[in-house]
Amino acid sequence: MLCQLCKERVACIRCMECGIHLCSHCVKLDLYGTGCGCVGPIHMCPTCFEKSWLPSGITAESYHAF
């Protein structure tokens, strides 16, 4: 199964929102819940990441946390 975004690398993870297969280069990873001590992983395609995680006006391209 190839990454459905770049179609070049082997997919190793799936977007937790839309479920498309992503390689480690294309997937957007982040952590949430740092305030309460429990941390959960976020793994989404850039589209879903922008839509459901970033504040409006900020795109995945301009997000430099990782």
37: left (phi over 0), alpha (psi -120 to 50) or beta: left
Q: Which two tokens stand for residue 66?
A: 């990782």
Q: Is 30 in the site for Zn ion (CB under 5 A)?
A: no
Nearer to Zn ion, 6 or 39 (CB): 6
Q: Is 27 in the site for Zn ion (CB under 5 A)?
A: no
State the nearest-atom distance from the C-beta of 22 to Zn ion, in Å: 6
Amino acid identity, position 25: H
Residues in touch with Zn ion (CB under 5 A): 3, 5-6, 9, 15, 17-18, 23, 26, 45, 48
